[in-house]
Amino acid sequence: MKAKVTTAQELPVVVAGSCTFGRYPKISDEETTNMYVADNWLVPFPGYKCILDKEDFGYDSTDTVIFKKIYKSSKIFVSGLSDKTFYVVVNDKIFVFDSDYLDPIEITDGAHKLPSIDTKIYSIAENSSGQIIFCYGSEYDVIGVLTQHITGLPTFENVTTPYRFTNITYQDGYFIGVVKNSTEWRLALANELTTWPTSANFLSKADILQCCLPLPGKGSQLFLIGSSHIESWVNVGSSLFPYQRNTGYSIDYGCLSTESIAYGDEVVVWLGYSANMGPVIMYSDGGAAKSISTDGINYLLSTVTNFKYCNGFLYKDSGHLFYVLNNSADNPFTIAYDFSTDKFFFLTDENGDNYQVKDPVFNENGYFFLRERDDEQARPGGVYFMSSSLNTYGYIKDSAGFVIPKHRTCNHLRFSDSSTFIVNNLTFTIEQGNAEGTTLSPSVELTVSMDGGKTFSYKAISYMLNKASGLSKIMFWNLGYANDAVFRIDFISEGRVAATNGLASIIR
C-alpha cells in the first residue's frame, strides 16, 4: 500500500485587512472593528474622553441637559479669547469657550435665547460680516442670529423670517435657505440675513428639497439635494438671479437621510437612493456621483428599515479621510469608509454597540464632539475630545476610560478542491511595549473556526509586554484540523496596538 504523501505549506493570513464580508458568511466574513489599515499595518481608530460636562456649563448634576451643536467659527473672533473658540448650544443657551482654557461663557441672556429647551438646530452658517445663523427647522418662523462686536461678547437674538427653513447655508455673499416641504430655495439680500425677498430671489426645483450646500474647494458650485435627485448650480453673478443651473449635470440618486450628508475636503457624501437600485453610499467631488458600497455593505444597508436614524460625518486621521455612517435603529451598526485605501471598517463603543461619536469639529491634534445627553449607562452628555493619542473611551472627566474592543476576523484558508489540512501554527508581527503605566496586562486572544466561521474554538491567549521596544512576533501552535479555517483575533490593551500580516503553517 502506497503511503500518503504530506506537504508543508505556508498560507498568507491577512491580519492588516478591512471588512470585505460578502452576502453570506461562507463567501467571506472578514471584519475589522475599531481599527484601520495604514501602510499595510492594522492600527487603532482614535479614542476619546470627556473634557466638559454639564456642571461646567452651570447646570446641576440632576438637571436634564441636551447638548445640541458644537461649531467652530472661521471668521468671528471674540475679544479676549484666542482664534480657537468654539460655540456650543446647550438646552436654550449658547456658550463660547477657548480650547486652550475650556472655560465656557454664556452668550445668551434672559431675553434672548433659543425658542425652547427642545429646539433643534438643523444647520449653522456664517457670513464674512461677523454673523452666524442658527436654523431651527420647519417648526419655527424665526432664526437665531449671533453678531460679533469689536469689544465684548457677541450678542444673540431671534429674527423673524417670511418662510420656515429646513436648512440654511452661505455662499458668495448670500445666505441660501431651503423652504419647508417645497421645491423652493431662496436667497437673502446680498450680505444681509434679515431680508428674504418673496418675489425674484428664488428658484424652484422639480423635487422636494432637503438641503443645499456649497461644495468645498469648488468655487461657486452649489448642490441642491432632493429626495429623488441632485442638481448642480453655479453663481455666475447675473443681476436678475445670480445662480445658473448646470443643465448638463444631474445625479439620479436622492438622499434618504439629511443627517447622513457630510461634506469637506472637496467631497460630499450621502446615503443615496434610486428607485432602480435601492440604498447605497454615494459621493461626488463636483463631477459624476460614484458609489462606495460593496456587496456586503449593500446587503447591510438593505436591512435598515428607518433611514431617518442614520447620520454621517467626515473625519480625518493621519492623512486618512473617513466617512462614518451610523444607524441607531433596528439592526444598529456603524461603518467607516476610508477614501485613502478604499476600505470599510466597523466602529463600536466599549460594549460593541453603536459608535458614540457624532459630527466632530476639528481642533489642534484632534476633534471636539458632543454627546447629546446622559444615558442609562451613566455616560454623561457633554463636550468630548477625540484623538489618535487616546486609546480608551473616557466618559467621566479625569477618570480612567474603558478599553476599546479591537477585533479582526481574517481571511478564509481553504483550497479549491476542499482538501483538509492541519494548522500547525499562526504567526504575525505586532508592536509591543506601548502599555506602560496602564493597569491592564495587554494580550492577544485567538479563536479558530475549522468549519468556515460557523463555530469557533476556545480562546488561546498570548500576553504581551507592557514595556518593550522594537517589533515582536506572536505565535500560536497546534490549532487543529480543517478544510476551511478562519482566525478571529482580539487585541486587548489600554495602549497603542499595531499589527501586520502573518503566515499560517499547515500540513496538507
Residues 413 and 495 in one domain: yes
Residues 18 and 107 in one domain: no
The answer to the question of residue 28 being in a domain is: yes
The residue among 109, 131, 154 that closes a domain is 154
The answer to the question of residue 482 being in a domain is: yes
Query: Nearest 10 degrees: CA dihedral of 485, 503, 404, 431?
Result: 170
The answer to the question of residue 501 being in a domain is: yes
Residues 38 and 116 in one domain: no
Distance CA 395, CA 397 (A): 6
What pLDDT, on a 0 to 100 scale, did the predictor assign at position 183? 84
The residue among 373, 402, 431 that closes a domain is 402
The number of residues making up the chain comes to 508
The answer to the question of residue 353 being in a domain is: no
Residue among 218, 214, 249 nearest 232 (CA): 249
3 or 8, greater pLDDT:
8
Residues 425 and 482 in one domain: yes
Residues 425 and 483 in one domain: yes
What's the CATH code of the domain at 19?
Answer: 2.60.120.260
The answer to the question of residue 236 being in a domain is: no
**Which range is most confident: 31-35, 277-281, 419-423, 460-464?**
31-35
The residue among 348, 371, 402 that closes a domain is 402
Residues 453 and 502 in one domain: yes
pLDDT in tens, 71-129: 998 778 787 787 778 999 999 999 999 888 889 999 998 788 999 888 989 999 998 88
Residue 443 CB burial class (10 angstroms; 0-12, 13-18, ≥19): middle
pLDDT in tens, 156-172: 999 988 888 989 999 98
Residues 15 and 93 in one domain: no
The answer to the question of residue 271 being in a domain is: no
Residues 40 and 53 in one domain: no
**Which range is most confident: 271-275, 378-382, 409-413?**
409-413
Given pLDDT bands bounded at 50, 70 and 90, which one contains residue 239? confident
Domain total in the chain: 3
Residues 411 and 485 in one domain: yes
Average pLDDT, the chain: 88
Residues 99 and 109 in one domain: yes
pLDDT in tens, 473-500: 899 999 999 999 999 999 999 888 999 9
For residue 78, count other CB atoms closer than 10 A to its CB: 20
Per-residue pLDDT for 471 more than 80? Answer: no
Q: What percent of the chain has pLDDT over 90?
A: 49
Average pLDDT (199-214) is 77
Given pLDDT bands bounded at 50, 70 and 90, which one contains residue 151? confident
Average pLDDT (53-64) is 92
Average pLDDT (26-55) is 94
Give the structural domain span for 93.
Answer: 66-122+144-154
Please report the sign of the dihedral spanned by the C-alpha atoms of residue 477, residue 430, residue 350, residue 396. positive
pLDDT in tens, 10-22: 999 999 999 988 7
The answer to the question of residue 211 being in a domain is: no
Residues 50 and 105 in one domain: no
The answer to the question of residue 191 being in a domain is: no
Residues 434 and 492 in one domain: yes
Given pLDDT bands bounded at 50, 70 and 90, which one contains residue 363? confident
User: At 361, is the secondary structure helix, strand, or coil?
Assistant: strand
Given pLDDT bands bounded at 50, 70 and 90, which one contains residue 508? confident
E strands in 286-346: 290-291, 310-317, 320-327, 333-338, 343-346
